[in-house]
A and B are shown apart, each in its own frame.
Chain A
C-alpha cells in the first residue's frame, strides 16, 4: 500500500506515478477521522485511470459514494459487506463466505491493469478475523501476482487500509505496522489536520514526515504549510548552563608559545632519533655511561669465579 502523493512541496502536487506498490495504512482516532482522507485517495487513484475496489464494512454504499461525481463512481467497484455481513440472505447479492472470502476474491479479481484496493476498515476486519490470517491475506494481496508472463511494472496493486487505532491494543497495531510500507497517523491542532507519515523503503532508513492538509468538500486533497502556533508553549525553561572551566585555580588553556614549548619537549622514555643516533654511534671510543663503585667494608671482592668449584 502506498500513499499518494509522495512529494512534499507546498504547491499542489500532481498525482504521482512512480510510487511503488505495497500497502499503506491510515490510523485515525475519534478526533481526526480518516474516512475522508481515504476517500480523497480513492478519488486520486480513480482520476489516474486505475480501477478501484472498495471493500466496505462500516458504512453503506450510498454513504461511501456520496460526494463523488459520476466518472469516479463508474470506476469504483464496491464490495458490500455492510449490508449483510453474516450473509443471512442467501439468494442476495451479499458476498458468501464472509470477509475472508471477500478478501481472497479481491486478490483474484485484480488481473488487468494497475488497481487500488481500499479497505474500509481494517478495524472491522480485525474484529472478525484472527490477526495472523488477516496479515497473511493482506500480504498476499499486496504482493505482485505471480501469474506467468506478468512482468509489466504497471501491474501493481495498491492496498489502502483504514485503521481506528483506539480500538486495538499494541499487538495488532504493531503487527499491521510491520506489514505496511507507509503508515499515516492523523492528528492535528486547532482545527488543522496533520498527517505523520512513516515511509519505509525496502533497504533504507525509514523517513518520518509531517504534512498538514485539508480535504475539500469534493474530496480533493489540499496540502498546506504548517500553521503558526499562536500560543507558544513556555519554552526555554532550562537553566543556563554553567561553564565549569571558569574560576579554576589551574590553567586549562595553553597559549601558543606554551604549546610550542610542550611539543618540543622530549620525554624521558621517548625513543627519538637523537637517542637512536647516540646509541648507534657510541662516541669516540668512550662509553656513554660510567659505573662508579666503592666497595664497602663488608663486600666480598673475591676475584675468583665461584662457579669454578662446581664439578660439572
Chain B
C-alpha cells in the first residue's frame, strides 16, 4: 500500500458541483527531491491520489466513507486496503444509505467503482445515489436545522461560558473539502457525474447461468464468480500496480450489498448448521487478501440479524477490519422510550483495525445514535447523565520487596 508523502493535491474532481473552498497550497519552500517522472515508483515520495489523505496518527492512506461523522469515529477515514462491514438493521432501511454514501463519495472524488449486488441492478443503485452538496448550501442546511432544534435559545451558559466554544460532534465542512463531502439524500446525483465516472457492475442473476448444478468446491458459485470478477478488474485496471505504464494511480471502491443473504446462494441465514458454513468466511478471507495487495477499499453490508449461528458472526467480525452495526428502533420497545425519542437508531462501532500501529484508534464517544433527517443522515452522541457512583477499583500494588 502506498504511503502518501504530502497531502497537497491538484484539482482532480470530475464534477463541477463541488466548489473548491480550499486553495492549492503554494509555498515558497519547495522540496528539492529527485525529479521522478512517475515511472520510477521507488523514489516517488509524493504519491498523492485524489480523495485520499494520510492519517495523522500513523500515516496510513485513508479514504472517506462519505459521512464525515463516521470518518471521525473511525479515526479519520477508512484505510485503503481494508474492509468496512456494516451490519444491517432489521428492515434494511439505513444500511443502504451508508452504502450509497460510500459510492457517491467515490464518484465525487473520481475513484473507480465496483458495485456487486444480488438484489438490485448496479445501474439502478448508481442512479439512486445522493447528490453532493456545495459548501455554502450545507451551511444553510446546518443553520436551518440548528434553528429548528433550539428549544431554549436564550439560555446560554453563564458560569461555564468557555464550554460553548467546544466543538460539537457533527462538524461542518472542514476547510479542505477534498476529503469528505456532504450529500443531500432527497436529490439524485446528476447524470453527468455518473457518466464521467468509471464503474463496473456485478449483478448475480445475470452472471450465474440458470443451470443450478451444485459444485463441489467449498465456495458457493456466486462468491466464486464475484471473487474472480474483482480479481479481474483489479488486474486489468492496474490497481495492484501490475500495469506500470499507467500514469495516474487511483483507488477502487468496492461495494457489495447484502452479502450472506440467500439471494447470493448462501444458506447461512437459513439454517444453523449448514454445509456451506465456511463459504462466507472463506470469501472474506480471500477478499481481504485481494484488497491488501491493491489500492482498494471495500464496503460490505450483511444481514447479520438473519444469521442463525452466532459463531459465524464472530468469525465474520474477526475477518473484517472495521465493523459498524446499525440498530434501528422500529418495532422494538426502544421506540417508545423517551430517551431515544429524537433518534432513529443506535450505531455501534464494533471493531476498529490496528494497522501498522500499536494501539487502536478508538474514539472517546461510545454511545452513538443516528437520525435520518429529510436530507441528511447524522450521527450524534447520546448524551446521558453521568452515573454518580462508579465502582472504584482499588488495587493494592505491592512493590517487589526483598524480605529483610
Binding site for B on A (CB under 8 A): 100, 104, 130-136, 139-140, 169-172, 174-175, 178-179, 200, 203-206, 208, 267, 269-271
Q: How far is the CB of B326 from chain A (nearest CB, A)?
A: 14
Q: Check if B269 sits within 8 Å of A206, measured CB to CB.
A: no
The 8 closest A-B pairs by CB, nearest first: A135-B262, A131-B270, A132-B262, A171-B270, A174-B306, A171-B308, A175-B262, A132-B267
Given contacts A104-B210, A132-B266, 11 further A-B contacts (CB under 8 A): A130-B267, A134-B262, A175-B262, A178-B303, A204-B93, A205-B91, A205-B330, A206-B91, A206-B93, A267-B158, A270-B159
Q: Nearest-CB distance from B349 to chain A (Å)?
A: 24
13 contacts across the A-B interface (CB closer than 8 A): A130-B267, A131-B262, A135-B262, A135-B263, A139-B263, A169-B271, A169-B308, A171-B269, A171-B306, A174-B305, A174-B306, A205-B91, A270-B161
Using known A-B contacts A131-B267, A133-B212, A172-B270, determine if residue A205 contacts B93 with beta carbons closer than 8 Å: yes
Cα distance A206–B210 when bound, in Å? 33
- Name the B residues within 8 Å of A179 (CB-CB): 262-263
Residues of B near A208 (CB, < 8 A) are: 331
The answer on a CB contact under 8 Å between A131 and B271 is yes
CA–CA, A135 to B205, complex, Å? 12
Within 8 A of A (CB), among B142-183: 158-159, 161
CA distance in complex: A158, B337 (Å): 38
For B205, list chain A residues within 8 Å (CB): 136, 139-140
Cβ of B265 within 8 Å of any chain A Cβ, yes or no, is yes
B212 near A267: Cβ-Cβ < 8 Å: no
Q: Is the CB of A206 within 8 A of B306?
A: no
Encode B78-92 as 1/0 by CB contact (under 8 A) with A. Answer: 000000000000011
| Residues from chain A with Cβ under 8 Å of B212 in the complex | 100, 133
A169 CA to B271 CA, complexed, in Å: 8
Which residue of B has the minimal Cβ distance to A206?
Answer: B91
Across the interface, A175 reaches (CB within 8 A) one of B118, B270, B330, namely: B270
| Contact call B159/A267, Cβ cutoff below 8 A | yes
For A204, list chain B residues within 8 Å (CB).
Answer: 93
Interface residues of B (CB under 8 A from A): 91-93, 96, 118-119, 158-159, 161, 205, 210, 212, 261-267, 269-272, 303, 305-306, 308, 330-331
B220 to chain A, nearest CB (A): 8
Chain B residues with Cβ under 8 A from A130's Cβ? Answer: 267
- Say yes or no: B271 contacts A171, CB within 8 Å: yes
Select from chain B the residue with minimum beta-carbon distance to A168. Answer: B270
Q: Are B269 and A174 in contact (CB under 8 A)?
A: yes
Closest chain A residue, CB of each to CB of B119:
A139
> How far does the Cβ of A140 sit from chain B's closest Cβ, in whole Å?
6
- The distance from the CB of B223 to the nearest CB of chain A, in whole angstroms, is 12
The reply to whether B93 and A203 contact each other, CB–CB distance below 8 Å, is: yes
Residues of B within 8 A of A135 (CB): 261-263
Interface contact A175-B158, CB-CB below 8 Å: no
Residue of B nearest to A126 (CB): B270
A136 to B206, CA, bound (A): 12
Contacts of B272 in A (CB 8 A): 169, 171
A205 to B328, CA, bound (A): 10
Q: Which residues of B contact A203 (CB under 8 A)?
A: 93, 96
- Nearest-neighbor residue (CB-CB) of A207 within chain B: B330
B269's partner among A133, A140, A175 (CB-CB below 8 A) is: A175
Q: Which residue of A lies closest to B93 (CB)?
A: A205
Residues in A whose Cβ lies below 8 Å from that of B305: 174
Closest-CB distance, A74 to chain B (whole angstroms): 32
Q: How far is the CA of A104 from the CA of B118 in the complex (A)?
A: 18
- Smallest CB separation, A200 vs chain B (Å): 6
Cα–Cα distance between A204 and B303 once the two chains are bound (Å) = 18
Residues of A within 8 A of B93 (CB): 203-206
- A178 and B331 form a contact (CB under 8 A): no
> A136: which of B161, B265, B271, B308 is its contact (CB, 8 Å)?
B265
Contact B263 A136 (CB under 8 A): yes
B331 closest partner in A (C-beta): A208
Residues of B within 8 A of A172 (CB): 270-271
Please, which residues of chain A bring their CB within 8 A of the CB of B92? 178
In Å, the complex CA distance between A106 and B264 comes to 22
Q: A100 to chain B: which residues have CB within 8 Å?
A: 212
Nearest chain A CB to B138's CB is how many angstroms away? 22
Q: Shortest beta-carbon distance, B203 to chain A, in Å?
A: 10
B267 neighbours in A (Cβ, 8 Å) = 130-132
Asked whether, in the complex, the Cβ of B263 is within 8 Å of the Cβ of A270, the reply is no
Contacts of B210 in A (CB 8 A): 104
The residue that A269 contacts in the complex, of B159, B263, B271, B331, with Cβ under 8 A, is: B159
Closest to B97 in A: A203
Q: How far is the CA of A204 from the CA of B119 in the complex (A)?
A: 18
Shortest Cβ distance from residue B154 to the other chain A in the assembled complex, whole angstroms: 11
Shortest Cβ distance from B87 into chain A, in angstroms? 14
Question: Residues of A contacting B306 with CB < 8 Å?
Answer: 171, 174-175, 178
Q: Which chain B residues lie closer than 8 Å to A169 at the CB level?
A: 271-272, 308
- Chain A residues in 8 Å Cβ range of B263: 132, 135-136, 139, 179
Which chain A residues lie closer than 8 Å to B264 at the CB level?
A: 132
Assembly CA distance A170 to B306 (angstroms): 8
Chain B CB within 10 A, most for which of A169, A175, A269: A175
How distant is the Cα of A175 from the Cα of B263 in the complex, in angstroms? 9
From A104, A140, A206, A271, B330 is in contact (CB under 8 Å) with: A206
Contacts of A139 in B (CB 8 A): 118-119, 205, 263
- Shortest CB–CB separation between residue A202 and chain B, in angstroms? 9
Q: Name the distance in Å between B338's Cβ and chain A's nearest Cβ.
A: 14
Closest to A130 in B: B267
A134 vs B270: C-alpha distance in the bound complex, in angstroms? 11
Q: Which of B161, B265, B303 contacts A132 (CB 8 A)?
A: B265
A270 to B263 alpha-carbon distance, docked (Å) = 64
- In the bound complex, how far is the Cα of B94 from the Cα of A205, in angstroms? 10
What is the chain A residue whose CB lies nearest that of B208? Answer: A136
Q: Are A136 and B262 in contact (CB under 8 A)?
A: yes
Q: Whole-angstrom distance from the CB of B168 to the nearest CB of chain A?
A: 23
Return chain B residues, CB-CB under 8 Å to A134. Answer: 262
Measured between alpha carbons, how far is A276 from B140 in the docked complex, in Å? 33
Across-interface contacts of A205 in B (CB, < 8 A): 91, 93, 330
Closest-by-CB residue of A relative to B272 is A171
